[in-house]
Amino acid sequence: MKSRATILLALSMLVSACTSLAPARVTLVTHDSFAASDPIIADFEIASGAQLDVLKGGDAGAVVSQAILTKANPLGDALYGIDNTFLSRALDEGVFEPYVPAGLVDLPAELDLDPARHRVTPIDYGDVCVNYDKGAFSGATGAPTTIEQLTEAAYRDQLVVENPATSSPGLAFMLATIVRFGETGDYTWLDYWRDLRGNGALVVSGWEEAYYSSFSGGSGEGDRPLVVSYATSPAAEVYFADPQPSEPPTGSIDDGCFRQIEFVGVLAGARQPALARQLVDFMLSPEFQADIPLNMFVFPARTGVELPKVFTANAAQVSRPLTMDPAQIAASRDRWLQEWTDAVLH
């Protein structure tokens, strides 16, 4: 009879052999809105020989905060979903290591916000805009065409916005008002927000609550016909409807829209840095980029990607998106959020 020690040794060797045969794993840390088609994920896993684990951590802001808190022992190998509103904070904290992917040459220069050090790579972009329920404005009162009109009596108690302290689109819309109205002068961005609040604007914590619970248009189940969402949201309303309508039930206002750019980066201290770099390359590939519009309903960063017709026909291209330097956002974000809270919630 074999001894206990012999049996334990054999089991240990078996476990070791099985472990050596197991595929490597690479972990992508991301926000709750990340989505990709199963065949696309499978293609990466086949090409890399590794299993992709997707670790979702809430809103983009929460994901960035967690990455900063765990930077000495990162939760994954790459992070996707950090946008230009949080970018400088993460870069200043040393969350990412530099990497220059081959596909960078196929990206518009204006999307690359770290051109000197290449710690992050742009993957997609979208515009945060006010959306409206077309059915609610089919009568004498048409939908607003500017964000200034949202303070008028005709639109009292009709708007729902997200809290910028807890929501990425909410923060983008707050930044849009700062760009539009400024911090000084006869009428500032805080004056605008006081007027919005006085006109009955509803503030909720996040996009899903705003869009699905408070907004009346499309898939929304609320009673407010105006919501802060995305210029591409009408395309999602068409794509997911059964049967698909000839035109979306919602529209977006081509004014006061703030451009969000989302990035991916290799996390400093990653356990699988080589696979993380391979994942960045893959996310810039034409294959992955073409998969973005009908999964995350934003525009791919790479030029020359053929977009689905249902997306291009119903997703608005904003004519004059508002932007702000990430360093300026980082320098003033906390102060602006406190000022907004004092003016709007107190």
266 and 189 within one domain = no
Which residues make beta-bridge pairs with 80? 264
Is the pLDDT confidence value at 12 over 80? no
Distance of alpha carbon 126 from alpha carbon 321, whole angstroms = 10
CATH number at residue 212: 3.40.190.10
Distance of alpha carbon 256 from alpha carbon 258, whole angstroms = 7
Q: 28 — phi, psi (to 5°)?
A: -100, 115
pLDDT given at position 3: 60
* Residue 15 falls inside a structural domain: no
229 and 156 within one domain = yes
pLDDT given at position 102: 86
Cα dihedral 276, 279, 284, 289, rounded to 10, equals -140
pLDDT given at position 9: 55
User: Is 249 in contact with 133 (CB distance < 8 Å)?
Assistant: yes
Cis upstream peptide for 243 (omega within 30°): yes
pLDDT (tens digit per residue) in 124-171? 999 999 999 999 998 778 999 999 999 999 999 999 999 998 888 999
Closest CA to 95 of 112, 82, 108, 85: 82
pTM assigned to the model: 0.88
- In total, how many domains does the chain have? 2
pLDDT (tens digit per residue) in 70-95? 999 999 999 999 999 989 999 999 99
N-to-C CA span, the chain: 78
pLDDT given at position 31: 92
* Alpha carbon 176 to its chain's center: 16
109 and 160 within one domain = no
Task: Tell how strand 159-162 and strand 121-133 pair up.
Answer: unpaired
pLDDT (tens digit per residue) in 212-242? 999 999 999 999 999 999 999 999 999 999 9
pLDDT given at position 79: 98
Which tokens sit at 22?
Answer: 């197991």
pLDDT given at position 60: 84
pLDDT given at position 59: 82
Task: Kindly state the percentage of the chain with pLDDT values over 90.
Answer: 85
User: Is 133 in contact with 171 (CB distance < 8 Å)?
Assistant: no
Is the pLDDT confidence value at 21 over 80? no
226 and 109 within one domain = no
Domain extent, residue 45, equals: 23-125+261-314
